[in-house]
């Protein structure tokens, strides 16, 4: 049984690929059930792997009979298993919450194509989590990009096609830089497996050889992944991609895709280059500046929006800035804060998107704030979900967002040189978050004026009409509260996982 569990990372990847191929032969309804079962099975394997690694430690699994350093490997550990489990959970909730809208927004003939793209997206995310090979990571980065473009433009209208093209252009730029960084690193070290590269890098740093080429390689890889994860100022594609795609696509893209790239970056920092080497290279100072600017700019842009989905989209720019802020602090506490923010943002942002669509459905599909007045009374469960997400984003105790902000403040104190600017950015961002999120909550819970009561399309949506949607929102709220109340064991798990990385 012990050896069998070590097959789970490879099984997960192969199962996703097989399911994608099988779904091409099925109709939409059958493809939907294949997708649901796939997510549950992969999530169960990841959860089993997490407990296995807690008891037995991390491991590497050689694929085929070619040993390192020439063969290919996957790696299982506590953090990898936990992240794989969490990704599956968020994807499952995002798909169930947007299932009804998916039937309306995607043609019947393209339903199975949508589920094929989601299966490939899951495959790429799981592969990025488990791979121990840099070039394999690049291959699945490209699969992730293609899947994301398909998920954006499958709802065919001018805005989604334009958003997909902009996303593709920026993603190709990021992929190109990432690939150039891999090539430089391979030229310097002669390896593609992460553990072998790290040994070579440590030897080069100690000898003082190839200092500048190594710095350039690290910079290219970091910049490539920063572009792909929409770090400011490379975020221009994000609002339209999240704002005009199907709601399930928006929830998945905002909560998982960028987080997969960031998790890969964390793996590279720890397992390829070495945390100390990256910290001493001063590259983290550059990302620190961009992260701080992204937090402020994203918050201001969200505050100026009059479209609820674009407001939530611009908020993602700020939240991604938070993750990079934690990484850029260059401390263990900062890295723990960054990983927890990945979990918190994934759970909260997908809930906000799913809740927002419920509010717009009760308002004649209008996304303008003036038409959303009283929408929380017309769709009570959507109002509850959006209010809970807003409170979490502001950082109110009980929710996961409070723990994130607390961790960032603790991380700032651990880095005296960056403490003051970090505290200032956190304070400004919290105020701005409170302004635009609480303004929205007040709007949706404001009593309706007589002007709106009899307008066509402004309807009350009862819970019994949306059982699946109601269960999804309740589970999202419970997940967010669980991250806030049970943060102690979760942070301990993250810390142990990062220690295994090193």
Q: Tell me, letter by letter, the H, E, C secondary structure of 411-465.
A: HHHHCHHHHHHHHHHHHHHHHHHHHHHHHHHHHHCCCCCHHHHCCCCCCCCCHHH
How many domains is the chain partitioned into structurally? 1
Q: Do the domain assignments include residue 129?
A: no
Cβ(421)–Cβ(292) below 8 Å: yes
Q: Which residues constitute the domain of residue 347?
A: 282-502
Give the pLDDT of residue 455: 61
Q: Do the domain assignments include residue 496?
A: yes
Cβ(138)–Cβ(128) below 8 Å: no
Cβ(458)–Cβ(452) below 8 Å: yes
Q: What is the dihedral of CA 290, 323, 329, 178, to 10 degrees?
A: -60
d(CA 404, CA 415): 17
Burial environment of residue 419 by CB neighbours within 10 A (0 to 12, 13 to 18, 19 or more): middle
Q: Residue for token digits 């069998």?
A: 4
Q: How many residues does the chain have?
A: 502
Cβ(158)–Cβ(166) below 8 Å: no
Q: Do the domain assignments include residue 484?
A: yes
Give the pLDDT of residue 475: 93
d(CA 212, CA 410): 33
Helix, strand, or coil (residue 363): coil
Beta strands of 140-244 (E only): which ranges?
Answer: none
Q: Which residues lie below 8 Å from residue 236, measured CB to CB, with a gap of 6+?
A: 166, 170
Q: Do the domain assignments include residue 162?
A: no
Q: Residue for token digits 């635009």?
A: 436
Give the pLDDT of residue 70: 67
d(CA 332, CA 338): 10
Give the pLDDT of residue 416: 75
d(CA 138, CA 273): 16
Helix ranges (H only) for 329-415 are 332-361, 375-378, 380-394, 400-414
Q: Do the domain assignments include residue 171?
A: no
Tally Cβ neighbours within 10 Å of residue 244.
23
Q: Do the domain assignments include residue 498?
A: yes
Q: Do the domain assignments include residue 222?
A: no
- With vertex at residue 261, the alpha carbon angle to CA 158 and CA 265, rounded to the nearest 5 degrees, is 150
Q: Residue for token digits 């433009």?
A: 153
Q: Which residues lie below 8 Å from residue 145, measured CB to CB, with a gap of 6+?
A: 168, 171, 172, 175, 228
Cβ(31)–Cβ(112) below 8 Å: yes
Q: Do the domain assignments include residue 335?
A: yes
Q: Residue for token digits 């005296």?
A: 416
Burial environment of residue 1 by CB neighbours within 10 A (0 to 12, 13 to 18, 19 or more): exposed
Averaged pLDDT in 10-residue chunks for the chain of 502 residues: 78 89 83 89 91 85 69 83 91 88 80 88 91 88 89 81 85 90 87 83 80 85 89 83 84 88 90 83 87 90 85 88 89 90 91 87 76 81 89 88 88 82 88 88 76 58 75 91 88 85 68
Tokens of 170: 């920026």
Give the pLDDT of residue 462: 64
DSSP 50-84: HHHHHHH--EEEEESSPPTTTSEEEEE-HHHHHHH
Tally Cβ neighbours within 10 Å of residue 118.
28
Cβ(72)–Cβ(7) below 8 Å: no
Give the pLDDT of residue 478: 93
Cβ(140)–Cβ(123) below 8 Å: yes
């Amino acid at each position: 049984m012990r050896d069998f569990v070590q097959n789970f990372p490879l099984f997960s990847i192969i199962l996703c690929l097989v399911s994608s191929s099988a779904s091409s032969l099925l109709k939409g309804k059958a493809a939907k059930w294949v997708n649901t079962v796939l997510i549950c099975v992969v999530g169960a394997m990841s959860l089993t792997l997490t407990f296995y690694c807690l008891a037995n430690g991390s491991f590497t699994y050689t694929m085929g009979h070619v040993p390192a350093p020439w063969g290919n490997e996957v790696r299982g550990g506590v953090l990898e298993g936990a992240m794989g489990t969490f990704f599956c959970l968020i994807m499952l909730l995002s798909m169930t919450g947007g299932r009804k809208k998916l039937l309306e927004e995607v043609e019947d003939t393209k339903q199975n194509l949508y589920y094929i793209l989601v299966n490939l997206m899951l495959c790429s995310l799981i592969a990025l989590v488990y791979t121990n090979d840099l070039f394999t990571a690049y291959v699945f980065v490209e699969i992730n990009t293609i899947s994301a473009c398909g998920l954006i433009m499958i709802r065919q209208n001018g805005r989604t096609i334009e958003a997909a093209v902009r996303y593709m252009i920026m993603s190709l730029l990021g992929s190109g830089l990432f690939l150039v960084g891999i090539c430089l690193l391979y030229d310097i070290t002669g390896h593609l497996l992460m553990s072998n590269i790290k040994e070579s890098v440590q030897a080069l740093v100690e000898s003082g050889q190839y200092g500048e080429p190594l710095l350039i390689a690290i910079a290219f890889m970091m910049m490539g992944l920063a572009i792909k994860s929409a770090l400011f100022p490379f975020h221009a594609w994000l609002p339209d991609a999240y704002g005009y795609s199907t709601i399930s696509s928006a929830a998945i893209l905002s909560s998982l895709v960028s987080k997969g790239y960031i998790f890969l970056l964390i793996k590279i920092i720890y397992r390829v280059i070495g945390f100390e080497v990256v910290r001493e290279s001063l590259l983290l100072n550059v990302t620190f500046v961009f992260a701080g600017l992204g937090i402020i700019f994203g918050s201001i842009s969200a505050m100026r929006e009059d479209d609820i989905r674009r407001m939530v989209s611009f908020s993602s720019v700020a939240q991604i800035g938070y993750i990079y802020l934690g990484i850029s602090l260059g401390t263990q506490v900062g890295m723990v804060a960054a990983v927890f923010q990945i979990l918190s943002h994934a759970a909260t942002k997908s809930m906000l998107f799913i809740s927002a669509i419920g509010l717009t459905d009760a308002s004649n599909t209008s996304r303008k704030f003036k038409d959303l007045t009283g929408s929380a009374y017309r769709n009570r469960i959507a109002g509850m979900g959006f209010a809970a997400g807003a409170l979490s984003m502001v950082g109110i105790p009980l929710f996961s967002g409070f723990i994130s902000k607390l961790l960032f403040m603790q991380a700032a104190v651990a880095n005296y040189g960056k403490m003051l600017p970090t505290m200032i950015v956190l304070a400004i961002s919290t105020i701005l978050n409170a302004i635009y999120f609480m303004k929205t909550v007040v709007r949706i819970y404001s009593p309706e004026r007589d002007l709106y009561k009899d307008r066509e399309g402004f309807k009350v949506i009862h819970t019994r009409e949306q059982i699946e949607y109601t269960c999804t929102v309740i589970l999202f709220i419970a997940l967010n509260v669980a991250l806030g109340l049970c943060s102690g064991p979760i942070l301990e798990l993250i810390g142990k996982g990062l220690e295994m990385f090193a």
